[in-house]
Structures are given as C-alpha cells and as structure tokens.
Amino acid sequence: MNSIEFIENHVVTELVKQGYEQSVARISADVAVEHYRRHAASAKEKIFSDCLHIAKAWARKYQPQIKK
C-alpha cells in the first residue's frame, strides 16, 4: 500500500466511523488525496492529520448532519 492508498483508505474509514455516508467519505477522501499531492505537512509527521482535517471540512459541506 502506497501513501496515497493509505490516506484514501484511512480517511474513508475514519469518516464512516464518525457517521458520514460512504459516498460523502469517498468524495472527501479524494479531496484529501489532492491536498496530499499539492501540499507539504504543516509540521513534521502531520500530513495524515492535515489530510483528515481537509476531508472533514469537505464532508461537512456535503452532509451537514451526520448519522449517530
């Protein structure tokens, strides 16, 4: 598994666990991967956290109310 697959899989898993729909999680994971490709981490060893943060922001736009 390369780093892009890692980010994509783990972002989807985390967002679904938080109550977002699978389709919203996939769209948000694509945004997270694009962020990874374009930017460096804000701090050393923090790239996944940055990508997950971006994905959550996009997920909230697509699905403002999460399932509980």
Which pLDDT value is given to residue 67?
Answer: 64
Which pLDDT value is given to residue 46?
Answer: 86
Q: How many helices (H) and strands (E) does the chain have?
A: 3, 0
Closest CA to 12 of 37, 35, 30: 30
pLDDT > 70? residue 68:
no
Structure tokens at 29: 């994971």
Which pLDDT value is given to residue 38?
Answer: 87
Chain-centroid distance, C-alpha 43: 18
SS3 for 28?
helix
pLDDT per position as a tens digit, 5-64: 999 999 999 999 999 999 999 999 999 999 998 886 666 678 889 999 999 999 998 887
Which pLDDT value is given to residue 2?
Answer: 86
